[in-house]
Amino acid sequence: MINKSNLYFTTGEFAKLFNVSKSTLFYYDEVGVFSPIIREENDYRFYAVEQIEVFEVIVTLKELGMSLKDIKEYMENRTPENFITLMEEREKIIDEKITYLKEIKQFFRKKADLVRESLCVDTNKVEIKEYPDEYLIPIKTEINNEKDMAVYLANHIKFCVDKNIYSPHPISGMQDYKNISNGIYYKYLSFYTKITPEQLPLLLSNNVPYILKKKGKYIVAYHSKGYYSLDEVYDKIFNFIKENNLETTGNFYEDVLLDELSIKGYENYMVQISIQVK
């Protein structure tokens, strides 16, 4: 009688070779992607040495993002010509993934820089700062309640993702000066995403509409208690304007500096509020 343990691998041994679970091999067998060469009446399964290379192919195709259904179809119809076609298709997909991962890497790098900067701001101070031109992707709103706001934000995120725009800046809002001066804090003119200067060509090539926040001097204040007490910081700004006999132009910009990615709780968001000086 042949000792199978000297010629074949058990399910556990074969799984260990590829650092996969036994249940993965069972599932692959169930869906017809990869089956043991021997299955005994007691359901013991054995895999042959020559199956190692076959399984390596399956693992590689899986790493390339192919579904088990597509892998099964290819394995059943593999030829040199089909292999070349498959690799050409996969190469395009890999290039797209590399581009995407580079964008995500850049996103998190710039996001970390923004968070570092926000940790250095003085939330007790109102000041005048000079800013270069900034580019904002807007979405107009008609908000009646927080649910409406959530819908607009979700739509805005989807729009940016569809255009492959991954900005490190959180979604922020534009406020009408007159509304704020009358104590109306939650009737936004629009939400927007600020982009980096490097992303401007992407906007132009995709015909994405944008708002130019013009360069110049801006009154700036910071608030670290989220959106529910914005009246506190707006009071500071209006007092600063009055005390310094300043005139302003345009709308208020509420730029979120710390959001859920970096801080816990909506009430702890850090917001920068600015308005241009005439």
Name the residue type at position 60. Answer: T
Query: pLDDT digits over 185-224, tens only?
Result: 888 888 899 988 888 888 888 888 898 999 999 999 999 9
Given strand 126-131, what is the order of strands in its sheet? 126-131, 216-223, 270-277, 248-258, 172-175, 188-195, 134-140, 211-213
Query: φ, ψ for residue 208 (rounded to 5)?
Result: -85, 125
pTM equals 0.70
Query: pLDDT digits over 19-33, tens only?
Result: 999 999 999 999 999
pLDDT in tens, the chain (278 residues): 455 666 899 999 999 999 999 999 999 999 999 999 998 888 889 999 999 999 999 999 998 889 999 999 999 998 999 999 999 998 998 998 898 888 889 889 988 998 998 899 999 999 999 999 999 998 877 666 777 778 878 888 888 888 888 888 888 999 999 999 999 888 888 889 998 888 888 888 888 889 899 999 999 999 998 888 899 999 999 999 999 999 999 999 999 998 888 888 778 889 999 999 98
In order, the DSSP letters of 14-74 are HHHHTT--HHHHHHHHHTTSS--SEE-TT--EEE-TTHHHHHHHHHHHHHTT--HHHHHHH
The C-alpha atoms of residue 155 and residue 178 are separated, in whole angstroms, by 27
Task: Judge contact between 240 and 275, C-beta under 8 A.
Answer: no
Task: Judge contact between 137 and 209, C-beta under 8 A.
Answer: yes
Task: Judge contact between 125 and 131, C-beta under 8 A.
Answer: no
List the one residue out of 53, 88, 57 whose CA is nearest residue 72: 57
